[in-house]
Amino acid sequence: MIQTISLQNYTIHIGAIWQQWNALLHSLQPSKIVVLVDENTRKYCLPMFSENTNFEHFFVIEIPSGEQHKNIDTCQIIWSKMMDANVDRKALMVNLGGGVIGDMGGFCASTFKRGIDFVQFPTTLLSQVDASIGGKLGIDFQEVKNSIGVFANPKAVFIEPHFLDTLPAREIRSGFAEIIKHSLIYDAQQWQQIQAITDLQQVDWTHFLVPSLRIKQQIVEADPYEKGLRKALNFGHTVGHAVESYFLQSERPLLHGEAIAIGMISEAYLSYKKLGLAYIELEHISQFLLRIYDEVIIPNIAFSWLIEMMKKDKKNEQDLINFSLIHPIGKVHINQTSHWVEIIESLHFYNELIPQTIITN
Of 40 and 346, which CB lies nearer to ligand NAD in the complex structure? 40
348 among known catalytic residues: no
- Site mask, ligand NAD, residues 104-123, x = CB under 6 A? -------------------x
Of 32 and 241, which CB lies nearer to ligand NAD in the complex structure? 241
Quick check: 100 binds ligand NAD (CB under 6 A)?
Answer: yes
Nearest to 185 by CA among 295, 275, 293, 296: 275
Rounded-to-integer distance, Cα 106 and Cα 116, Å:
9
Q: How far is the CB of 123 from ligand NAD (least distance, A)?
A: 4
Cβ atoms of 187 and 217 closer than 8 Å:
no
Quick check: 44 binds ligand NAD (CB under 6 A)?
Answer: yes
Catalogue the long-range contacts made by 79-85 (C-beta closer than 8 Å, 24 or more residues apart): 79/108, 79/112, 82/34, 82/108, 82/112, 85/32, 85/34, 85/59
241 among known catalytic residues: yes
182 among known catalytic residues: no
Stretch that binds ligand NAD, among 109-117, 165-173, 197-205, 302-310 (CB under 6 A): 165-173
Within 13 Å of residue 200, how many CA atoms lie on the same side as its CB? 21
- Site mask, ligand NAD, residues 295-334, x = CB under 6 A? ----------------------------------------
226 among known catalytic residues: yes
114 among known catalytic residues: yes
Quick check: 65 binds ligand NAD (CB under 6 A)?
Answer: yes
Size of the site for ligand NAD (CB under 6 A): 29
Quick check: 95 binds ligand NAD (CB under 6 A)?
Answer: no
Quick check: 103 binds ligand NAD (CB under 6 A)?
Answer: yes
Q: Are strands 92-97 and 117-122 parallel, antiparallel or unpaired?
A: parallel
Integer CA distances (angstroms), 4 to 52, 178, 187, 216, in order = 19, 20, 20, 14
What is the chain's length?
361
Nearest to 133 by CA among 188, 69, 182, 167: 182
Q: Which of 163, 186, 205, 350 binds ligand NAD (CB under 6 A)?
A: 163
Q: Which residues contact 29 (CB under 8 A, 6 or more apart)?
A: 90
Quick check: 129 binds ligand NAD (CB under 6 A)?
Answer: no
Quick check: 134 binds ligand NAD (CB under 6 A)?
Answer: yes
Rounded-to-integer distance, Cα 138 and Cα 141, Å:
9
Rounded-to-integer distance, Cα 134 and Cα 162, Å:
23
Stretch that binds ligand NAD, among 161-169, 245-253, 313-321, 333-341 (CB under 6 A): 161-169
Quick check: 67 binds ligand NAD (CB under 6 A)?
Answer: yes
Q: Are strands 320-326 and 117-122 parallel, antiparallel or unpaired?
A: unpaired
Quick check: 206 binds ligand NAD (CB under 6 A)?
Answer: no
Which residue type is seen at 276? Answer: G
> Considering 51, 56, 114, 143, which one is annotated as catalytic?
114
Q: For residue 342, give the H/E element and its range.
A: helix 340-353
> Considering 13, 173, 241, 327, which one is annotated as catalytic?
241
Which sequence positions are flagged as catalytic?
A: 114, 136, 178, 216, 226, 230, 234, 237, 241, 256
Question: Which residues contact ligand NAD (rule: CB under 6 A)?
Answer: 38, 40-41, 44-45, 65-67, 70, 97-101, 103, 123-124, 126-127, 130-131, 134, 136, 145-146, 163, 166-167, 171
